[in-house]
Amino acid sequence: MIKVGRRCHIEGVTPEQVFTTLANPELISKILPRVQKTELLDRDDVARHARLITYMSMGSLFGTIRCEGDLTWQDNREIVFIVRTPLPVETRWVLSQAVNGTDLQVVMGIDLAPMLGMMASFVPEKTVADMLGADLETALRGVARHTRQSLSVRAAA
């Protein structure tokens, strides 16, 4: 399992405002660099659980991969997306109130063995970690940008 984490501070916004951005399925493909499309299969707000499909671009070698998984959340504190097929991936977003804003941490763990078999041992972990880290940094910037944009739209209305 390869695990990578990143964090940022988003100035001038509350955890509730950041959560609203992260919880919007329509924004996922705009925030996460490899996600091309999402489909919400079902959602249970009482149980705080949803089933979601993402279509992720994995470059010329793998093309677009359909990932189906479970989304769980604790309002304004945490969102977790666990994919089981075609490869295990867990992405955990943790939000916390901070001075003048919100601290946001994201950790992603991925296991290449189910998809690559024995070939997974030949994949350089640092290369994968660097790629995931860059994607997470892009995602954090996207969350900050879209959260601020939604605040500007609400303020103008």
pLDDT digits (tens, 9 = 90+) for 112-122: 877 777 877 77
pTM of the model: 0.88
93, amino acid identity: W
* Tally of CB atoms within 10 A around 126: 9
**Percent of the chain topping pLDDT 90:** 55
CB 115 within 8 A of CB 55: no
Q: Mean of the per-residue pLDDT values for the chain?
A: 88
Using CA atoms, how far apart are residues 81 and 106, in angstroms rounded to an integer? Answer: 11
pLDDT digits (tens, 9 = 90+) for 139-148: 999 999 999 9
CB 116 within 8 A of CB 97: no
Strands 35-44 and 89-98 come out as: unpaired
For residue 60, pLDDT beyond 70:
no
* Tally of CB atoms within 10 A around 88: 17
Using CA atoms, how far apart are residues 143 and 86, in angstroms rounded to an integer? Answer: 26
- Distance spanning both ends of the chain, measured CA to CA: 46
Looking at the structure of the chain, the number of domains it has is: 1
Q: What is the CATH number of the domain that holds 80?
A: 3.30.530.20
Provide the domain limits for residue 59: 2-156
